[in-house]
A and B are shown apart, each in its own frame.
Chain A
Amino acid sequence: MEHIAIRLKRWNKTYRLGETVYGVCVVNIPKPISHNGIRLSVEGSVALRSSAKNVGVFDSLYNTIEPLKILSINYPLLKPGKFPQGKTEIPFEFPFQPLVESKLIETYHGVYVNIAYTMTIVLARKGLSKNFEAKEEIYATVPPKKTFSLVAKDFMITPDSLKNVSKKMISKVPNFSISGKIDSLVCPISEPFTGHIKVDKSSSLIGSIEVQLIRIESCGSKKDGFVRETTEIQNLQIVDGNVSNELEIPIYVTFPKLFCCPSLLTKNYRIEFEINILVLFTNNAVVSENFPIQVIRTN
C-alpha cells in the first residue's frame, strides 16, 4: 500500500496557463510517525535527445542534452510534526505558472522530444528512514494566441505530377488519375483531418489507398545543423481493392492523443506534421503524394 498519494480535483489532470491546481495529498500510515515536513514540487522541462543514428547507441543512451526547465514550483506543504495512525488529507493549491523567462509548452511525449510536467510530494522522515514520495504528471495545454483560417487544397495525382521518378521507371508507372480535396492544411488538433478522394481512372488495378500521418521531430541548432527524425504515427487504409471510379471516398484521420501536439517551431527543436497519400497498385507500384500540414490548438 502506498503511504502517500496525490489526488487532483480535476479528473483529466489537464491545466492551462494561470489556472490553479487543486488537490489533496493523502497520507495513509499503519502507525503514527513523526516527520520533518512535507514538500511539494512541480518540474516542467523539455528533454531533447539526439538521434541514435547520428551519435551511436552508446551516446544516445547517456548523452542526452540537458533538459530545458520551463516550470519550477517548490514549497513546503507542512511543517515538521506528527501524523496519527490512518488516513490524513492535506489539501494543496498552486497556480500553474511557468518560470519568468519561459513560455508554457504543451505536454508532448515523442521519441526525441519530451515535454512533461511532473508534480512530486515528498514526506521527509526522521533519522535514517526512507522518505515517502508520490509523483503525478500534470498535462498542459496552451490555448492558441491568434485566430486562424482553414486552408483548403484540391489535388490531382497523375503520372505527370510525380516528382522523383527516374526516367527508366516512368514507363512502368500505370496510367492513372486520382483527384481529391483536402478540407484544410491548417488542422485543429481536436478535429479530424478530413477530405475526400476519387479515382478517376486507372490502367492497372489498385490494391489499396492509404493515408499516412507523419511526425517530424528535429532538434539541434543552426550552428550544428538539425537532426531530423520522421515517425509514422497513423496509417489508415481508406480504399481496399480496385474501387469504383464514380464515388467520392472520404478521408478521415484523427490526431492520436500524446503522439501529437500542435506544430512547434523553436530555436532548438521543432515538431512538424505531414500527410502522405499512398496509392498501392497490385503490381507492387506505390505512388505517394505529400502534404505538409500545420497542427494547431483551438478552443
Chain B
Amino acid sequence: MNNLLMFHGRECPHCIVMMPIVDRLENETGIKIERLEVWHNEKNADLMRSYREIIEPKCGGQLRTPTFMNTETNDILCGEVKYEELKDWASE
C-alpha cells in the first residue's frame, strides 16, 4: 500500500474540489496518493476509523473528509488546501 492516503467522501463538496488538485499533483510530480472513499466502502471507512487517534487531534476532533495522511510519518492534512500546500505535504 502507498504511504500517502486520501480519505474522501463521494458526496463531500471539499473532496470534489480537491480531486482535480490531486490529479494535477500526480500528473506533475509522479507522486501517487491512494484515494479511499469512506461512505460507500466499509473497508476504507474502518481503515480511517483505525487512525482516529492520529487524525482527530489534527482535524477538529473529527474524522473529516478529505483527510490526507502519510502513514509513515503520520503527517495529516485535512480539508480543502491549495495545490502548493498539498505538494509540500506530499513531498516531505
Is B truly associated with A? Answer: no
Report which B residues bind A (CB closer than 8 A): none
